[in-house]
Structures are given as C-alpha cells and as structure tokens.
Amino acid sequence: MPTALITGATAGLGAAFARRLAADGFSLVLVARDEKRLVETADTLYHRYGVRADALAADLSAEEGVAAVEKRLREGVDLLVNNAGFAHTGAALDVPVEDEVTMLRVHCEAVLRLTMAALPAMRARGRGGVINVASVAAFFAHGTYSASKAWVVNFSESLAAQVPEPRVRVMALCPGFVRTEFHERAAIDTSGIPGFMWLSADRVAGAAMRDLARGLPVSVPDPRYKAIVGVSRYIPRGVVARVSALIGR
C-alpha cells in the first residue's frame, strides 16, 4: 500500500488531498500544528476509508517541527504534498518583519527541506511524487505571499527538470481561489470575489493528481485560471505589479 505525507492536512486543500488519497488506497501521514484536530481527522479517515492514518503534530515554522517531518520522510513515502501555508492581513509594508520571516520559513524553507528529505528514497525506488502547493498569485506581484509562491513554482520546475528518474515527479500546484478556511483565518475580505472564480478543494486535488500522473511540472487546475496566467505572461511586469496592487489579494 503506498504512503502519502500531507502537510496542513486538517483543513481546506490539505484535507481534500487526504480524502482523495485515502479513497485511492494510500496510507496517510497527516501533519499539522493542532494535535487534537489532527488526531480527529486521522480517526475519521481511518473509519471512513479503512486506511492507516498517522498523526504527526509539527509546527513547520519551527526547527523541531521541520526536523520531525524530515525524519519521517527519510523513512520513505510514495507521495509528499507540501500544502501547509497561510497569509497575512494587510499589505506587506504593514506586516511585522518577523511575521514575514515566519511565512518564508513555512512556504520556502520547509518546502525545500521536506522535498529534499523525501526525494532520495523515491529516487532509490525509481518512483514517487512531490506536489508543492503554490498559487496563481505566484504569477503576479503582491507582497511576500505571492513572492514566496513564485519561489515554490521556480523551485519545483527546476527540480522537475533535474530529477533523471522518469517516474519520480515534482510538480507545483497553482490553484486560484479555493473554498477553504484559508481566507477566513487570514481575515481577508472575499466579498468582492465573483462566485464563478471559486474552485472546489476536492476538484483541485483531483486535478492535481491527474496532472502529476501526466508529468506536468506546473499545474493550474482550471481553464479560467489557465487563461488568466496565460494572459499575464504577455503583460509587462510593471503593469502586472500595479494592477496587482490595485486589486489586492
């Protein structure tokens, strides 16, 4: 039975990946900060899908948390989903620098270290996959969040091109607005976002697994957002930055 480790697994897109992979017969290692909620999630998945679901409580903004997950990954998994992440309320210039550094630890350092911890065992077996959750925001310019997600895309594309084993795949997942707790936790006002721009977390997880199987280095899992990203590539970067600043998150 294959094993998948998912960070940020108790809510939103991480929980959607957990449901999808459990339904596909994966054993799960679920990672999040809230141990109580993590254990409840693991128990629910076990009883619903009959798969093993282990809870690994870890704060990926702290050294001990990242080290604990690295240790588990070195034992070997078939799929790693680096999903943990968050956003700040307000513009970058209004956010304390220490909070921005914490974001970079979770979005960049943890993704780097966990990916590098998982890949050696995958390469030794000649199979495996890493999905690094980025965002459509990676293709625009709006503070540390979009910058960190742009790093995730670049990092994932670079590794995808460098890993020689054809059945070991690294992919950046770049969804648009997904109906999860993400925006509520960050106190971001989403009232101005049209209903047709929202995506289902379960559909995004399903599209991600299909694109990983196809060997895509970057997945933008919806035709609407594919069009937005495609158009953005032909607009001068300065214009994109100014429009991003006007529109906000």
Catalytic residues: 145
The length of the chain, given as a count of residues? 249
Residue-wise over 106-143: b if at least 16 C-beta within 10 A, else e? bbbebbbbbbebbbeebeeeeebbbbbbbbbbbbbbbb
Which of 189, 190, 199 is closest to 228 using CA atoms?
199
Give the Å distances, CA to CA, from 103 to 17, 53, 90, 92, 202: 22, 27, 14, 12, 25
Residues 6+ apart with CB under 8 A from 54: 27, 28, 29, 30, 42
CA dihedral 51, 52, 53, 56 (to 10 degrees): -160
